[in-house]
Amino acid sequence: MKILVTGASGFLGGHLVDGALRQGHQVRALVRPGRAAVRLGSLPGVEVVTGDLTDGESLQRAAQGCEAVLHSAARVVDHGSRAQFEAANVSGTQRLLAAARSAGARRFVFVSSPSALMRVREGDRLGIDESTPYPRRWFNHYCETKAIAEQHVRAADGPEFTTCALRPRGIWGPRDHAGFLPRMVDAMRAGRLPDLSGGKPVLVSLCHVDNAVDACLRAAHAPAGRVGGKAYFVADREETDLWPFLARVGALFDCPPPAPRIPLRLGRALAAAVETGWHLRHRSAAGGTDASPPLSRYMMALLTRSATYDTSAAREDFGYAAPRTQADGLRALGEWVTEVGGVAAWTAGPAAPTDAAVPARSGPGPTEQGNTQS
């Protein structure tokens, strides 16, 4: 097929391009104006086009001649106005759906997030499956707009235009410079990451980028009658105790473990205070800022709530089986970090010009994109 990949200069998007090429597809890579696309442009079988989710004409041009769309671009920071999130995540997705349908595409795979189901007040939840309803009140603008966009995608499914949504959790792996894992490692390296677990296990589902790519490409090929109009959780095979995992990753790079341990109630109060102070300082900044607060209520929830996801629906409907194990993924991550010059080079961000990260997908905690982000 000829596949359009949005967010192609980002972490997940770049890996989607690579995965599609490995399967023999032609790829049209959509990047925003001004984004570096040197790596993408050097790949045989890739056509790089510029466009923006706010520009319907550019999306029409990008979709022409493509049989499938893998939509990974989104705004995945945990701050910003409702209008900013709606423009990128809701209106942008609607424009892309219209462009893809008009161009004759037959498959549309939307990279959503488990955060689309995240509630403001909620305790630990294990084995969450697709029967879980959308909340009436979401945690923040990101959660709400991903949920609304996901519902638009599912509603657009039809006989000649098959749509589905995937919800990978905590995407991690090589070429992620701005997601939750490099941010946590950077904080450990500097000795400024406290243990926020409160002394309890925080069981989570994470998703190696190779597993997310495998799921997206399987969904792009699956029979329409099995996946059309549905949403699926996607995760690694392993159920992870988050804070020991972070200490284990840090140890790979000689970082001290998270410390000291902060009681949960104190950690939540600290997150609220830091987030409020950050917003007060940045509210008057001309044009806003792409930086995220160092700690927020959303990040605190992601780092202290247990949340694991049942992926059996993805296995049954399109054969998803998480081909990359966590142990293998950590070995590959360590090798890649060595190749790029060590942990300091990894956590400092990509050296221009590369395609390792997109600001709009640089989420603050273990969300779906380190891509992100989306």
Tell me the Ramachandran region of residue 219: left when phi exceeds 0, alpha when psi lies from -120 to 50, beta otherwise. Answer: alpha
- The angle that helices 141-155 and 92-103 make with each other, rounded to 10 degrees, is 20
292 vs 242: CA distance, rounded Å: 21
Beta strands 107-111 and 203-204 are unpaired
Q: Around Cβ 248, how many Cβ atoms within 10 Å?
A: 14
Beta strands 26-31 and 2-6 are parallel
In the three-class reduction of DSSP (H, G, I as helix; E, B as strand; rest coil), residue 284 is classed as: coil
| CA 76 from centroid of its chain's CA atoms | 7
Tell me the Ramachandran region of residue 172: left when phi exceeds 0, alpha when psi lies from -120 to 50, beta otherwise. Answer: beta
**Cβ–Cβ < 8 Å for 163, 229:** yes
Active-site residue among 134, 142, 232, 320?
A: 142
| CA distance to 60, 71, 151, 309, per residue, from 94 (Å) | 12, 11, 11, 27
Is 142 among the residues known to form the active site? yes
Q: Around Cβ 69, how many Cβ atoms within 10 Å?
A: 28
Residue given tokens 């603050």 in the structure block: 364
Query: What residues contact 230, with CB distance under 8 A and at least 6 apart?
Result: 130, 154, 164, 165, 313, 317
In sequence order, the β-bridge partners of residue 240 are 204
Q: Establish whether the linkage from the previous residue to 353 is cis, with ω within 30° of 0.
A: yes
DSSP state of 115: G
Torsion of CA 151, 154, 158, 162, to 10 degrees: 150
Q: At 211, give phi and psi (nearest 5°).
A: -70, -40
Residues with a known catalytic role: 142
